[in-house]
Amino acid sequence: MLRQTSLQTALLAGMAVLLALLAPLAVEVAPVRAQGGEFDLPPGVTWDEVNSIARRMYCDVCEGIPLDECESVACRRWREEIARLLGEGWTRDEIMDHFVERYGADVAALPRSTADRILAFATPAAIVLIIGLIGALQVRQFRRRGQQTGEVVRRSGSRLQARPVPDDVDPAYLERLERELEGLES
């Protein structure tokens, strides 16, 4: 009897595990739609076109998240509006200008005016150029200092001999040192 109950318990446990593994398959899975939710795209418009515009925009609610990556309700509505405007034949620039007019310049990933765009790209380039120029001038100055230092040493060779030498230094050692140093200059 004891064997039969442990066998029944093992069988029930196995069935429970099998049921737990198969239960998710019994649930009906709704088809997944690429960033569209329940919205149907206008004819001739693809999500790639919508996302190519949305990639260049930021939601005014979700700070710092590009519109094509944001999953908030506001961002979905904006993507739906982009799709609708594309279906009506608007161009990318017209759509971007439309959103900038409605929500302000912060929604555009790049500045809309040419002057602002040039300023946005020229400023970092100018900073890098200035830092590079300062670095090049510093290297040039260090090289000049090194050459000047070498010239001072060569010119002061006669002064080196006139410098005081401690009394406990062997004169033979000093002569050998001077010969070796003279050999280095040639």
Alpha-carbon torsion angle 143, 146, 150, 155, nearest 10: 90
- Residue 95: Cβ-neighbour burial (10 angstroms; 0-12, 13-18, 19+): buried
Please state which CATH number belongs to domain 47-112: 1.10.8.640
Residue 36 has pLDDT above 50, yes or no: no
pLDDT tens per residue, range 170-185? 889 888 988 888 887 7
Determine contact, residues 78/69, Cβ cutoff 8 Å.
no
Residue, of 106 and 31, whose pLDDT is higher: 106
Residue 132 has pLDDT above 90, yes or no: yes
Domain with CATH 1.10.8.640 in the chain: 47-112
pLDDT tens per residue, range 9-30? 777 777 777 677 766 666 554 4
Taking residues 40-51, report their average pLDDT.
Answer: 86
Other residues' Cβ atoms within 10 Å of the Cβ of residue 13: 10
